[in-house]
């Protein structure tokens, strides 16, 4: 199902106290859009740790607190917009105990709901309103009068009115101008984590292999980095794919290119990729193995930041990364 402005009355939000836990990428954009969309503006309170984000919330004209327990007790609607790995401890220890029985909890990603990391009472509503956009675009698209792609779902209907609230919130944050797509925490998590763990890693690995193969055949670093990505051709191809169609965009390429790409796409052996994709979807994402591993990094392991440093160091050792570093240095680029 697709929902537009006309299917999404804002009535459910009237007189409600709306709390945003987190005022980062998504929190700021969604709170600003919501405050401008409703007339009169609803009561919005921002809860965040005291830092540069909190001053920003106050400069933007919102009420602000760092008292999670007290603000949770006031919330009719509670947007949980802190990073996914932070949500379980913060919510379970400092928010859930004082939450109203009928409060609606809103997540922008399915992760913690699908993996059941949040202790939410059966009487509460849980809805997912998940923009497919970074926060700055959520704001700029609203300001220019466009909508933005967004998934909506009801994960728990404690009050029996969760769908009305989910649709009102989707419109409230400015998403329904372009059509909001019905989804689920499972679908959102599966697609998101699959893209991050299967699709994009395959693309990164493919670029690495292509670079090494062509370098081995005498191509220079300068020529390779420009041919492969620095010209921004791949970005333009994806832009055209979104505008014209994934296959149709090929008509913008030369006949030699169209023939090569179409024929090649049928001939490449995808047996190993198919097997690997299925393994990642089923044995890493859907069964929760990845989530368990990721969540344990901060709890019992080296910590997410330390692990990322190690992975970046390894990625920077590839022939492609080293070649690019040489070119950037020669060109005086960062
Ligand atoms: P951000 O990284 O921008 O951080 C959000 C807020 O969380 C900030 O105000 C930050 O404050 C606060 N925060 C961070 N750590 C803690 C902590 N330990 N305790 C309390 N507060 C903390 O998050 P996003 O906006 O990127 O993500 C929020 C949600 O939106 C997530 O569920 C994410 O999956 C989802 N989402 C994100 C998208 C994106 O493009 N970023 C797109 C769609 C959905 P401070 O930095 O001051 O600590």
For the segment 113-142, what is each residue's pLDDT rounded down to a tens digit? 999 999 999 999 999 999 999 999 999 999
167 in the same domain as 94 = yes
Does residue 101 share a domain with residue 125? yes
- Residue 6's alpha-carbon distances to 37, 51, 106, 241, in angstroms, are 14, 39, 22, 29
211 shares a domain with 124: no
Atom 34 (ligand 1) nearest CA: 109
Same domain flag for 143 and 17: yes
Domain boundary among 119, 153, 183: 183
Q: Is the pLDDT of residue 334 over 80?
A: no
- Answer whether 0.80 is exceeded by the pTM: yes
**Final residue in a domain of this structure, among 164, 183, 202:** 183
Q: Is 48 in the pocket of ligand 1 (CB under 6 A)?
A: yes
Shared domain for 261 and 207, answered yes or no, is yes
Q: How many domains, the chain?
A: 2
Q: Are residues 280 and 301 in the same domain?
A: yes
Shared-domain flag, residues 132 and 20: yes
- Is any ligand 1 atom within 6 A of the Cβ of residue 228? no
Q: By mean pLDDT, which of 136-140, 144-148, 182-186, 234-238 is the weakest?
A: 144-148
Tell whether the torsion through CA atoms of 87, 89, 93 and 96 is positive or negative.
positive
Q: Are residues 151 and 76 in the same domain?
A: yes
Name residues whose C-beta falls within 8 Å of residue 221's C-beta, 6 or more positions apart in sequence. Answer: 215, 323, 324, 326, 327
Ligand 1 pocket check: which of 83, 89, 107, 111 to mutate, most ligand atoms within 8 Å of Cβ? 83
Check whether residue 158 and residue 198 sit in a common domain.
Answer: no
What is the pLDDT averaged over residues 89-114? 97
Say whether both 178 and 215 belong to one domain. Answer: no
Regarding whether 66 and 116 lie in a shared domain, the answer is yes
Diameter of the chain measured on Cα atoms: 69
- Is ligand 1 within 6 A of the CB of residue 83? yes
How many C-beta neighbours within 10 Å does residue 32 have?
A: 22
pLDDT at site 50: 82
Residue 51: pLDDT band (50, 70, 90) is confident
110 neighbors 185 (Cβ within 8 angstroms)? yes
Banded pLDDT at 239 (limits 50, 70, 90): very high
CA of 108 to the centre of ligand 1 (A): 10
Ligand 1 centroid distance, CA of 22 (Å) = 6
Contact in structure between 30 and 138 (CB atoms under 8 Å): yes
pLDDT of 35 above 90: yes
Give me 195's structure tokens.
């893209």
pLDDT of residue 299: 82
Asked if 97 and 209 sit in the same domain, the reply is: no
- pLDDT of 298 higher than 90: no
Range of the domain at 276: 188-331
pLDDT value of residue 49: 85
Q: Which of 183, 211, 231 is the last residue of a domain?
A: 183
Backbone angles phi, psi at 108, to 5 degrees: -105, 5
Query: Contact 21/95 with Cβ under 8 angstroms?
Result: yes
């Amino acid at each position: 199902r697709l929902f537009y402005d006309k299917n999404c009355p804002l009535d459910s939000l009237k007189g409600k106290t709306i709390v945003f836990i987190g005022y980062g990428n998504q929190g700021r954009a969604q709170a600003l859009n919501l405050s401008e969309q409703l007339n009169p503006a609803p009561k919005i309170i921002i809860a965040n740790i005291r830092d540069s984000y909190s001053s920003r919330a106050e400069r933007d004209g919102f009420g602000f607190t760092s008292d999670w327990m007290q603000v949770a007790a006031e919330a009719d609607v509670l947007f949980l917009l802190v990073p996914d790995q932070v949500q379980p401890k913060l919510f379970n220890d400092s928010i859930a105990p004082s939450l109203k029985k009928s409060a609606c909890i809103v997540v922008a990603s399915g992760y913690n709901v699908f993996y059941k990391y949040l202790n939410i009472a059966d009487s509460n509503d849980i809805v997912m309103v998940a923009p497919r956009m970074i926060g700055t675009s959520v704001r700029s698209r609203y300001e220019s009068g466009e909508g933005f792609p967004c998934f909506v779902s009801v994960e728990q209907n404690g009050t029996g009115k969760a769908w009305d609230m989910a649709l009102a919130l989707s419109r409230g944050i400015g998403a329904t101008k372009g059509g909001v797509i019905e989804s689920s925490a499972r679908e959102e998590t599966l697609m998101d984590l699959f893209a991050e763990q299967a699709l994009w890693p395959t693309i990164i690995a493919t670029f690495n292999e292509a670079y090494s193969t062509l370098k081995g055949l005498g191509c220079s670093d300068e020529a390779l980095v420009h041919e492969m990505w620095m010209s921004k051709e791949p970005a333009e191809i994806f832009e055209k794919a979104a505008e014209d169609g994934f296959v149709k965009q090929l008509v913008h390429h030369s006949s030699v290119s169209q023939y090569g790409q179409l024929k090649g796409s049928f001939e490449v052996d995808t047996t190993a990729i198919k097997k690997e994709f299925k393994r990642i979807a089923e044995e890493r994402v859907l069964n929760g193995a990845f989530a368990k591993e990721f969540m344990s990094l901060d709890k019992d392991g080296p910590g997410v930041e330390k692990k990322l440093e190690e992975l970046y160091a390894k990625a920077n050792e590839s022939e492609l990364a080293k070649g690019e570093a040489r070119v950037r240095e020669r060109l005086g680029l960062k």
